[in-house]
Structure 1
Amino acid sequence: MSFQTTRRRLARHAALGALGLAAGLPRRARAAERVIRLGFASIGAGNRQFTGGSPAALAHAERHLERDFAADGDVAIRWHFFAGAGPAVNEALANNQLDFAIQGDLPSVIGRANGLRTRIVLASGIDNPIYLAVPPDSPIRGVADLRGRTVAWHRGTNLHLAIAKVLAANGLSERDLKVVNMDFATADAALASRNIEAQFGSPTVFSLVRQGLARIAYTTKGDNPAYGRNSTLLVTEQFEAAHPDLVARVVKGIVRASDWASDEANREALFAIWARSGHPLENYRDDFAGLPLTARNNPLLDDFLERQYQAQAEQALEYRLIRRPVGTQGWFERRYQEAALRELGLEGRWQRRGADGKAQGAA
């Protein structure tokens, strides 16, 4: 066999191998030249690839962005979920594994303090309450009763500073408690088995309440608005600089989801969609009880939200969660939301708040 014949056969085999590899890939993955990678600082029950409680979660579950980009043969949407919450998302951002993230305020501040270069482009889940859950027969009646108790929460998440504020308002600090670092699922199990005396948690605690395994001793719902937790959609500066058009379209898609999630006619349907996360519909029903959907599903970056992030940065430094001051000036980019509001005819849909938290009028 001649050298030329051998070379031709090798080339033909290589080509066939490449075709076989391509045939094994999903059609969209083969065609896509750009993949938009979005990460949630949360995950569903049992590591289910769904989450709930925000317009971005609705956009994922109902494939809003996938439909918006369906006509683009060169763009694919990929969603990622992180059991490690905000700290794990920061690690993924640092390793250039994400373009967008839906993340709480404190983890975002910590990421910025550690050099992550991002822009906050939309709110997705604001004023989220926290719940202090205890065993049904516990003598703990409120936050002031936690002194010396074994209390769990997930450190480094957006609960952390909200808890610090609540403790301070009751004359306590972390040093007055026996604090155990646990994620939500682990803390729920520990409370149910009475391995801890209390936990500051999320709406997952309502499942324990309905089973008679816990009761709510305190919630930030209806308390000082500064105790609320906030989550936003952020994008890496690198991706925004390269693809501002794609950023605008992602923001527009989630604003559209926010509009649907703010409609009271959709309340039960919304909770049912979020329940795909594996957390019961009743948890969302209890969490949102007594609140209009517009209060929590408002996507606007306003003066109050910016002020809250600056306050989080200042407190994170005070509590030594970060080692250097973090400024929020230039971090918030509102032009994408403003464009989306105009294009969708939603300028008057949600209330804007001033730095003092008071309503300034509809957007």
Structure 2
Amino acid sequence: MTSTRKQFSIGLAAALTLGVLGVAPAAAEPLTVRIGFASVGADNRQFSGGSAAAIAHSERYVEQELRDLPDVKIEWSFFKGAGPAVNEAFANNQLDFALQGDLPEIIGRANGLKTKILLAAGAHAPIYLAVPKDSPVRKVADLRGRKVSIFRGTNNHLAAVKVLAGYGLQEKDVQVINMDTATTNAALTSRDIDAAFGNFPLASLVEKNIAEIIYTTKGDNPAYERHSTLIGQEAFIAAHPDVTQKIVSAIVRAARWSSDEANREAFFDISARSGFPASGYRFDFKGQELKYRNSPVIDASIIESYRVQARQAREFGLLRRNVEIDGWFDRSFLDKALKEQGLVGYWQEFGADGKPVAAGQ
């Protein structure tokens, strides 16, 4: 027997022996899943709050769901630059999933990002218009010519533009100043701006008697609501459907806990790990059911909202091209999680017209 044949025979015999003895194959390649939040806590705390996804992070739902896959690790990131910063991270292949708002998602899709929207995580959120205490600005129409803070490129941005339009103003009718949350709060405190569109952190200024909220989208046109979702890279989802399913299932479990009114105060307390006080979240959810705000369900109303948002973003000059919505949403992972957890029909779904849909329809 030649030397080459002898080596082959020895190797084949060894392989057969290992197979007979049942020796385990080589360990799976380690995988780090990178999940980002288009938000950050006060003073750059690596936490978010006010959503089921934030609870999933704080209470380690995702890590628990992945406990049978020890080679899979989760890396969380929080972006002070909000949605635009998340889009940049996606473009540079630095994220696999993100919790992000509707407008930046639409902008990312317009710019060619290959993503899928998997579930809702912070849907039906309101915005607020705050002014310094004792300001002469008393209503939206009074903003004409005023200095107004709007965090450009975020889902607050499009909501604010829609509110302005609803009250007879265009973005060019006010002096828009691009500011993040911390800068906005500081500018309202120093009265360097006349007003600010924002979300729940504005409540802290109200508590301190520094500012007052003169308008909210709560109780107004539902089309002014903001939506956030779990969005993922198409390539990652295709390569790792099992891991994707576990992440979705974990957030659905967190959504079920976060939708239980018995957990309302605990939900606010955990959210306060972000550094924003529980009172701010309590203010933000006042008058609304947890089930409404924390539903993970992508229903016809949300899909239609994105379709309208994409068109309006183009009309308002926030986009330069049309965005195709069809095929972007993938409910398969969500539907499987709902079925496995016995939650089919637990959350109310709404039709494209915004009206409740009867169960089973």
**Paired positions, count:** 334
Q: TM-score, normalised by structure 1?
A: 0.90
**Equivalent position of 1:211 in the other structure:** 208
Task: Write the distance in 1 (CA, Å) between the matches of 2:157 and 2:197.
Answer: 9
Following superposition, the deviation at residue 85 of structure 1 comes to 0.1
> In 2 relative to 1, CA 221–32 (structure 1 residues): closer, same or farther, beyond 3 Å?
farther
Following superposition, the deviation at residue 322 of structure 1 comes to 1.8
Task: Write the distance in 1 (CA, Å) between the matches of 2:359 and 2:132.
Answer: 42
Which of 99, 122, 129 lines up with 2:96 in the alignment? 99
Asked if structure 2 preserves the Cα contact closer than 8 Å seen for 1:32 and 1:73, the reply is no
Q: 1:204 corresponds to which letter in structure 2?
A: P
Quick check: 1:253 aligned with 2:250?
yes
State the identity as a percent. Answer: 59
Query: Which aligned pairs between 1:109-124 and structure 2 lie closer than 5 A?
Result: 109-124=106-121
> In 2 relative to 1, CA 75–168 (structure 1 residues): closer, same or farther, beyond 3 Å?
same
**Equivalent position of 1:158 in the other structure:** 155
Task: Write the distance in 2 (CA, Å) between the matches of 1:323 and 1:212.
Answer: 41
Q: 1:61 corresponds to which letter in structure 2?
A: S
Q: 1:190 corresponds to which letter in structure 2?
A: A
* Partner SS state of residue 351, structure 1: coil
Task: Write the distance in 2 (CA, Å) between the matches of 1:169 and 1:318.
Answer: 14
Following superposition, the deviation at residue 290 of structure 1 comes to 0.9
Quick check: 1:60 aligned with 2:57?
yes
Asked if structure 2 preserves the Cα contact closer than 8 Å seen for 1:151 and 1:178, the reply is yes
Which of 75, 79, 84 lines up with 1:78 in the alignment? 75
Q: 2:236 corresponds to which letter in structure 1?
A: F
> What's the CA shift string for 1:127-164, capped at 9, x where partnerless?
11111000120111110111111111100000111111
* Partner SS state of residue 151, structure 1: strand
**Equivalent position of 1:168 in the other structure:** 165
Asked if structure 2 preserves the Cα contact closer than 8 Å seen for 1:32 and 1:76, the reply is no
* Partner SS state of residue 349, structure 2: strand
> In 2 relative to 1, CA 32–288 (structure 1 residues): closer, same or farther, beyond 3 Å?
farther
**Equivalent position of 1:6 in the other structure:** none
**Equivalent position of 2:317 in the other structure:** 320
Following superposition, the deviation at residue 245 of structure 1 comes to 1.2
Task: Write the distance in 2 (CA, Å) between the matches of 1:219 and 1:362.
Answer: 31
Which of 39, 45, 51 lines up with 2:36 in the alignment? 39
Query: Which aligned pairs between 1:282-361 and structure 2 lie closer than 5 A?
Result: 282-361=279-358
* Partner SS state of residue 219, structure 2: coil
Task: Write the distance in 2 (CA, Å) between the matches of 1:229 and 1:65.
Answer: 25
Query: Which aligned pairs between 1:99-248 and structure 2 lie closer than 5 A?
Result: 99-248=96-245
Task: Write the distance in 2 (CA, Å) between the matches of 1:250 and 1:361.
Answer: 28
Q: 1:64 corresponds to which letter in structure 2?
A: Y
Following superposition, the deviation at residue 72 of structure 1 comes to 1.5
Following superposition, the deviation at residue 177 of structure 1 comes to 0.6
Task: Write the distance in 2 (CA, Å) between the matches of 1:224 and 1:280.
Answer: 28
Q: TM-score, normalised by structure 2?
A: 0.91
In structure 2, runs of 5+ residues without a counterpart are 1-26
Task: Write the distance in 2 (CA, Å) between the matches of 1:73 and 1:51.
Answer: 26
Asked if structure 2 preserves the Cα contact closer than 8 Å seen for 1:106 and 1:158, the reply is yes
> What's the CA shift string for 1:75-116, capped at 9, x where partnerless?
111110000000000000000011001000000000000000
- Using the TM superposition, name which of 87-96 and 133-142 deviates more: 133-142
Query: Which aligned pairs between 1:273-288 and structure 2 lie closer than 5 A?
Result: 273-288=270-285
Cα RMSD over matched residues?
Answer: 1.2
> In 2 relative to 1, CA 31–329 (structure 1 residues): closer, same or farther, beyond 3 Å?
closer
> What's the CA shift string for 1:42-93, capped at 9, x where partnerless?
0000000001011100000000011111232211111100000000000000
Q: 1:324 corresponds to which letter in structure 2?
A: R
Asked if structure 2 preserves the Cα contact closer than 8 Å seen for 1:349 and 1:362, the reply is no
Asked if structure 2 preserves the Cα contact closer than 8 Å seen for 1:31 and 1:73, the reply is no
Moved over 2 A (4+): none
> What's the CA shift string for 1:275-325, capped at 9, x where partnerless?
000000000001101111001001100111001101111111112222211
Task: Write the distance in 2 (CA, Å) between the matches of 1:354 and 1:269.
Answer: 31
Following superposition, the deviation at residue 362 of structure 1 comes to 4.5
Following superposition, the deviation at residue 246 of structure 1 comes to 1.0
Q: 2:306 corresponds to which letter in structure 1?
A: Y
**Equivalent position of 1:26 in the other structure:** none
Task: Write the distance in 1 (CA, Å) between the matches of 2:255 and 2:29.
Answer: 27
Task: Write the distance in 1 (CA, Å) between the matches of 2:48 and 2:151.
Answer: 17
Task: Write the distance in 2 (CA, Å) between the matches of 1:173 and 1:78.
Answer: 41
Asked if structure 2 preserves the Cα contact closer than 8 Å seen for 1:87 and 1:107, the reply is yes
* Partner SS state of residue 323, structure 1: coil
Task: Write the distance in 2 (CA, Å) between the matches of 1:177 and 1:238.
Answer: 42
